[in-house]
Structures are given as C-alpha cells and as structure tokens.
Structure 1
C-alpha cells in the first residue's frame, strides 16, 4: 500500500497533480478526517487481501472531487451530503461520477458548544450573537474547502442569525479539536463544528445547537456516499461490487475514530485488529465478490488474517 501526500492551496488551485500513481492500483482520495482515514485503511487492507494494489492520496475534498473526473482518484468514501453539495451536485448533474452507494447514514452535523455554555442558555444558532463577546465572535472551523467550512461561510456572508460580523478560525480537524479543548480547560466559551459519528461525542462534554432558517446546509442529518470515477467499474468490477455492498453503522465508525483520533492507535493497526475480529460484517460486504484470482473474496481475506 502506498500513501501519498499532496499539498494544495484550495482557494487558488484546483489542479490535481499525479503522485507516482500506478495505473493498476485502486487510488483512494482521503481528506484528513479521522473517520475517513480509518475507514479507507480498512477498505484498502481488504482490497489488498483480494489481490489488488491500493494507494491513498491525502488531499482535501475539493481536490478529491476534481480528481474523480481526471483519473487521478478512483474512489472516495466520504461524500457527506448535503454538506458537500457544492462539490457533489455539479458532478452528479453532469453524470461525471459513479455514485456507488451509501456507506453511512447515521450521521449529523451542526455547530456545537461545551455543555456549560449550553446550560448558560446557548441552545440554538440564534443564541450565538447575543453572546458574541464571550465567543470573541469566532467560530472554530475545520479546514478551508470542506463542506462545513463552505456552509458556515455562506451563513456569515448572508448574516444568518446576526453572524455577519463573525469570523472563522479554520484548521485541520485535529488542530481545531485541540484548540477547542484548550478553551474548555480554561472554562471559556467556544463554538465549533461538531459532527457524528466522531470520538468528540464520547470524549467531550458537548451539545449540538439547533438550526435556524438559513443554516440548513450546515445543520443536517447527513448521508455519506461512496463515489468512483466513471471507468472504475470496468477496471475493477469486483472491487466496485464490494464497495456497492459496503454499509457501516455509525457506532462502528465512532469506534474507529475513537481508537485513532483519541487513543492514537495507528490506522494500520486498527484495521489489522478490526478485520479478523469482524469477519461476519466483512463477509456481508464481500457477498458475491471474487478476489483477483477468481476465488471467493472472503476466503482470501480469511487467509490473509489467519
């Protein structure tokens, strides 16, 4: 398995540069989010047990969506809808990507606050601007180019709930969470992007805020799609069938995220432990799927983890 890191300036560049990609490898686009990182690693290990090579291209979602149309990315398992609609809908309308299936539907997103802030009266997004000074008029956001960042920027630009003069402090997910935890340790007020499944739900004493008119793109129950390039099914028909069978429970992904994001277990180790311990689930994913040599894929996986 190869992992490649691509550095991109989201606001100025949408060109996806190939990174030593093997034509015969299944190339995953992987934004730097704990759940996606572990989920992709588990899928990659299963695909490798089937006899195929894989690559993981660590880039932001805007680059991934573009890569699906240029041949630089084969698969993306983190298409959160409606949060990523700005990137997803144009490709869907043009039939430019293969919507393989839904891999997760027990997901939700909103702005969130520590429980002590919620208990002080901040229950909805409409309550934020009443206490702007305590929040430093700042929303702690994940990285630029993400669906949550784009949706929140729209809310600010449209002055939803008086947030027009607020700013966003954007950073990768781990950095955002560390900054929020620093605020919480000092008992300060902070509002930030929250979502589930994620370890933050289990490890942080927090509450999600109710939405208001104009916040619908951010505050939502989400569906997570698996996307592929249009030629992927022809090149990897059995892997495509596997990914079409894929369905992950929210609690399972939260478990992965907790292991990686909170306990700091390496994704490779999580996958090597989880797969053989959950072969009943893997067998459902691989129903009717063949390995590269034509044998049942589940048998190839069992053999790899004996």
Structure 2
C-alpha cells in the first residue's frame, strides 16, 4: 500500500506558517504587584516595574495592609509581593504558607536588613539604649511608642509588649498611622531634640537623614542582631507555572542595602518610585545582567537588550 504524504506535508507547512507564539499567555502581561506602603517596597517594586515594562509587560500596583496582601495572593487577585520581612512578618504569613495558599521564593531578595525599635542617638547618649530603658524615660516620651500602619506585625509586637507589661511598658500607648506619619513625628522630635521611640528599619533613608541608635535587648520580640532580617519575594502559589518567564524574573530579583537606600532617597522627596528606579537603573545598568538571565520579553525576544533600549529612551 502506498502512503499518501501530501496531507502530512500540507499540515506541516501550515504549522510552519503560523506566527511565533508569545512566551506566555496574554493573561500574564499584567503583573499585579502588592505594596504595603513602605518606601523600601515602593523602591523594589519600582525597580521591578521598570524592568517588566521594558520587557513589554503592563505591571500594576495595589497598596494594602499585610493581611489584605496575603489574602490577595491567596485568591490570585495579586501576583507578586517583594516585601516579606522575615522574621517580623512570619507570624502573619505562616498560615498561608502552611495551607500552600501562596509561595515564598526560597532565596531572599535582600539580606542584612534590620527591623526593631530605635531612638535618636542623642537620646541614647542620655541612657536610652535598650528595651529595658524605655520605661525609665516614660515621662520624656509622653508614654508613647510610634509604630507604622495598623495591621503590621511590627505594631502587633509593640502592642503585645505593652499588653503583657514586657519591659515595664504597661500604660504606654502605641501610635499607629503609617510609615510617613511615623517619620513626620520622628523628624519633628529630632528638630526639637526630644526623645522618641520609633519602629525603624534598614534599608531606609531615615538611617542617614537622622542619626539613629537601634535598641538592644529586643531579641525575643524582633529577633537577634537588632531585628536582623531577610526579605523574600512571595508569589501566588501557581504563578511560576502560569507565567514562567515573569516568574523567572521575580526569582532573579536581588537587591542590596546600598541600592535600596539610593532608590528610596528621592522617593522620600516625593519623586515617583518608578522614575526614581529608572534613574538608578540608567546609572547602574550592570544590575540588569543577573536579573534578566534566562528572561525574555513578553513576546519571546532577548530581554536584556530590550530593557537597555527602553532605559535609553
């Protein structure tokens, strides 16, 4: 029996004539970032946004509290969060991790961070150096400790210390507002040389705009080494399977304290985070090489060349 190969040839010819498929489905083009309103997360999200745009994606950002961010990742209404601080946010994220409702990427995107209570160095010079010293300065502090936005784990830890009378803090009041609100009060206290206790962290421009002393003795509450922390990226639990190219970029993103401090500084002066990030990348394009290793544009072309071209515009 003679095999008629004409139909096979025609079928193959038709397949070869099709246009190249995009690297990912259209649903992956919009990368939905979460941001809890901290300047360091604004900086890293800004950096990622610039790179994704250069690759032909259309990233968006939602600002929300920690619980809403984790719930949004669980429900797949959000895709990426670059700001899981370990250990401070670990109690909040653990139930989601245990139920496999989201995925924490295994390699930290930032190491060497810290997150605990701090005071102006002039207050430390007067003896306010440890958690145990706070109660001794109750009158000068007006019985207040300044936190950040409601729902943050840092605030929850301060409230727990007050409720349990740890370090003799019973009767103190936690002032919750936002990162910006806390910094306004800190700046005012610095200008008047008044003592103040704030929830502080690094990376952040506050560390070179104000001379701070981080309090010792809070290892149980915030972790050793002055709340020594690592920051991890978190994605919806199937994001890397649905959007492997975008997921690869998120996995590649690694930052440094110096990088974040320099991107955050103009943001603190009301420069748009995306613009601040773009300006930093224009001055430091070498960061792109590792980030874009194995990453293409949305339509499958070389990623590094595309992002460099976009930054040159």
TM-score under structure 1 normalisation? 0.89
1:247 aligns with 2:254: yes
Matches within 5 A, 1:31-50: 31-50=36-55
CA–CA distance in structure 2, aligned partners of residues 110 and 190 of structure 1: 14
What is the Cα deviation at residue 44 of structure 1? 1.1
Structure with the largest fraction of strand: 1
Maintained 8 Å contact 1:44/1:54: yes
Which residue of 2 is the match for residue 68 of structure 1?
Answer: 73
What is the Cα deviation at residue 36 of structure 1? 0.8
Which residue of 2 is the match for residue 95 of structure 1?
Answer: 100
Deviations 1:98-145 (CA, angstroms, capped at 9, x unpaired): 122311112001111111110001110101101211111110111111
Residue 164 of structure 1 aligns to a residue whose secondary structure is: coil
What is the Cα deviation at residue 159 of structure 1? 1.3
Deviations 1:26-49 (CA, angstroms, capped at 9, x unpaired): 100111111111210110121121
What is the Cα deviation at residue 215 of structure 1? 2.3
Unaligned segments of structure 2, at least 5 residues:
1-26
Matches within 5 A, 1:124-135: 124-135=130-141
Structure with the largest fraction of helix: 2
Q: 1:293 aligns with which of 299, 302, 313?
A: 299
CA–CA distance in structure 1, aligned partners of residues 220 and 71 of structure 2: 28
Maintained 8 Å contact 2:219/2:227: no
Deviations 1:170-207 (CA, angstroms, capped at 9, x unpaired): 11111111111112212222111111010010010221
CA–CA distance in structure 1, aligned partners of residues 220 and 309 of structure 2: 52
Unaligned segments of structure 1, at least 5 residues:
1-21
Which residue of 1 is the match for residue 273 of structure 2?
Answer: 267
CA–CA distance in structure 2, aligned partners of residues 289 and 136 of structure 1: 53
CA–CA distance in structure 1, aligned partners of residues 115 and 278 of structure 2: 30
What is the Cα deviation at residue 266 of structure 1? 2.0
Which residue of 1 is the match for residue 221 of structure 2?
Answer: 215
1:204 aligns with 2:204: no
Would you identify which runs of 4 or more consecutive aligned residues in structure 1 move more than 6 Å? Answer: none
Bigger Rg, which one: 2
Structure 1 range deviating more: 221-230 or 147-156: 147-156
Maintained 8 Å contact 1:155/1:214: no
Maintained 8 Å contact 1:129/1:162: yes
Matched residues, number: 284
Cα gap change, 1:288/1:23 in structure 2, threshold over 3 Å: closer, same or farther? closer
TM-score under structure 2 normalisation? 0.87
What is the Cα deviation at residue 24 of structure 1? 4.4
CA–CA distance in structure 1, aligned partners of residues 265 and 248 of structure 2: 29
CA–CA distance in structure 2, aligned partners of residues 54 and 295 of structure 1: 18
